[in-house]
Amino acid sequence: MDGSHANAAAAAAGGGEGTQRTLNPYVTGNSVIAMKYKDGVIMACDTGASYGSTLRYKSVERIKAVGKHSLIGASGEFSDFQEILRYLDELTLSDHMWDDGNSLGPKEIHAYLTRVMYNRRNKFDPLWNSLVLGGVKKGPKGDEKYLGMVNMIGTHFEENHIATGFGNHMAVPILRGEWREDLTFEEAVKLIEKCLLVLLYRDRSSINKFQIAKITTEGSTIYPPYALKTNWGFAAFENPSQGAVGTW
């Protein structure tokens, strides 16, 4: 079959020792922020992918639905994220083909991804990503919300709110202060937008084009991209050297 020819030759094209080593990332996505809220999980990121310091691609989707119950968001090397999506396609397809009335929930997908990431790390051939996995599935105690993350070295955990990359430094403190268990959708969006704005101001590689996605028991929704208004109307911004000539 053509595909297997391609795969065999593709690996052979690597000179027989198809072994890779830890590499540098080329096309990279920025932070992903996510949190649980009353009805499920909400996730957001910008739609940019950088190539070194160039903001090269500006309409990239870094949050995708996985199966019926989960959302995955990724930062880091975009080609590795595309490959992970292919693995997840295979996983969800064979899950569907079992036709046993059960489907993989977010906890299971997270566990699968953790194994993939950690095993690649052990071979010194990581998938250069930080992945955020969120979802809702009916469990024995009713609808169970799930949010977890796993990164390129295999570190993984569950939390009520998650941020990757720069978001760890800028968004997590805000979330730790203001997150509550019973946030409505509107409140959650406002809180996420607060974090996105801070990242826009302070993360050099972010762009002003965002996507927010949510997942509830009804399913997942990925909203169309939009931009946020920024505020530059401070007197000190207009005249920074007034009263301190030579300052920056």
Partner 1 sequence: MDASSLTGSSSSSDAPTSGEHRMGTTIVGVCYDGGVVLAADSRTSTGMYVANRASDKISQLTDNVYVCRSGSAADTQVISDYVRYFLHQHTIQSGQPATVKVASNLVRLLAYQNKSMLQAGMIVGGWDKYEGGQIYSVPLGGTILRQPFAIGGSGSSYLYGLMDHEWRDGMTQEEAEKFVVKVVSLAIARDGASGGVVRTVTINADGVKRSFYPGNKLPLWHEELEPQNSLLDILAAGSPDAMVQ
The residues in 1-40 that bind partner 1, with binding defined as CB under 8 A, are: 2, 5-7, 9-11, 13-15, 18, 20-21, 23-27
* C-alpha triplet 154, 57, 86: angle, nearest 5°: 45
Is the Cβ of residue 49 or residue 162 nearer to partner 1 in the bound state? Answer: 49
Q: Considering the complex, what minimum distance in angstroms separates the CB of residue 176 from partner 1?
A: 34
Per rule CB under 8 A, is residue 153 in the interface with partner 1? no
Is-contact 168 128, C-beta < 8 A?
no
Is-contact 224 204, C-beta < 8 A?
no
Size of the residue set binding partner 1 (CB under 8 A): 30
Give the C-alpha distances (Å, rounded to integers) separating 181 from 32, 39, 101, 163, 177: 20, 10, 31, 17, 12
Among 30, 67, 73, 77, interactor with partner 1 by CB under 8 A: 77
Closest CA to 134 of 147, 144, 123: 147
22 flagged as catalytic = yes
Among 34, 42, 45, 49, interactor with partner 1 by CB under 8 A: 49
Q: Considering the complex, what minimum distance in angstroms separates the CB of residue 57 from partner 1?
A: 6
- The single residue listed with the structure tokens 């955990």 is 157
Closest CA to 222 of 49, 98, 42: 42
Per rule CB under 8 A, is residue 204 in the interface with partner 1? no
How far apart are alpha carbons 167 and 97 in whole angstroms? 38
Q: How do 156-158 and 161-163 pair as beta strands?
A: unpaired
Applying CB under 8 A, the span of 75-83, 142-150, 161-169, 184-192 interacting with partner 1 comes to: 75-83
Among 4, 16, 54, 239, interactor with partner 1 by CB under 8 A: 54
Which residues of the shown chain bind partner 1 in the complex (CB under 8 A)? 2, 5-7, 9-11, 13-15, 18, 20-21, 23-27, 49, 51-52, 54, 56-57, 60, 77-79, 82-83
Residues taking part in catalysis = 22
